[in-house]
Amino acid sequence: MPRRPSRPRRPRRISGLLVLPLLLAAGCAGATAAPQPVEKASQSPLPMPTVGVAPVTDSANALPLPLDGYLLNPAQLASVQQAQAKLIDSCMAGLGLDFRYPPAPKDLRDPDAPTTRIDGRYGRQDAQLSARWGYHPEGGVPADRANAKMPEQSAEVRVAATGSDQLKVHFGPGGQIINGHKVPEHGCVGQANRRLTGTPDGLIGDPQSMGDAKFRTLDAAREHPRTQAAFAQWAACMKERGVTGYADPIAAMSDPEWNRTPEPGERELKVAGADADCRHRTNVVGIWYSVDFAYQQEVLDADPAGMAQVKAGLETQVRSAAEVLGG
């Protein structure tokens, strides 16, 4: 039987995005460019949408999705994170601490990755990259990324960052005295969040609801009969190429074997090459995208007031980040 990957539970986003000791570990655990499978959302199933004509394409990375405007794109997210880091550094310095927020890890996005959304959603869509790098990021996984370890922080730094001296408390009331200076509410992270979102416990980045929504629509699109029919044709094509054991492209790109080496091996290149060829032959990406688009449009249409609020919150972050970085 073709195998489908397990669906590990997606961790909830921590308010403030970056909180010590997790604060310094963000981005350290990446391995391949392949998106990981997601657990089915606990909400009721999305209603079956009306799906339009599927474009014939090998890549949907340049095609829009309805939720793109309600999620931070890569450039926006980088700007907000840089502003947050600058604010935290300034706050730490104000408490007399010699602290520098670590720079973001090297971007592992491929040149064909979309600019309107963080994830490619449908996996690698460039046949030439697949032929050379399989499911690995272009250039392989850098040694500093593969061997990254979470740095340790002193109790003083944790208190300054979160306003709490309790390890399992994300945020505390602040008020502690460090080097003669008072720790702000929710610590330096909370102060940065207040500047960027308007509240010390505001979420930096996309709202949890939007993160859930984009994975929920992707999963629903994966299970849709039209997509499943395309996957069946893809699997038959893969079998003709001598590759079996994968029910769909997500199962192929999420094989844990690909995470064990910094560069692709012979089997990975064989699977990725067959995958790219069979995607082209069966128009998997075009069909998958059209169904995903329909589900996302339903989410957008179901709550226009809520979506407007989401957009306003993201615009506040982007505008505030520009002011912080510009100043």
Give the SS3 label for residue 120.
Answer: coil
- Other Cβ atoms less than 10 A from the Cβ of 63: the count is 16
The residue to which tokens 């500093």 are assigned: 144
Amino acid at 110: D
Percent of the chain with pLDDT over 70: 82
Q: What pTM was computed for the model?
A: 0.82
Flag whether pLDDT at 103 surpasses 50: yes
Compute the distance between CA of residue 55 and CA of residue 53 in angstroms, rounded to an integer: 6
Geometric angle at alpha carbon 162, from 156 and 165, rounded to 5°: 50
pLDDT confidence tier of residue 31, bands split at 50, 70 and 90 = very low
Write down the H helix ranges in 123-265.
127-133, 143-146, 155-162, 187-197, 208-223, 225-240, 249-253
Question: pLDDT (tens digit, 9 = 90+) per residue, 144-164?
Answer: 666 656 567 788 999 999 998
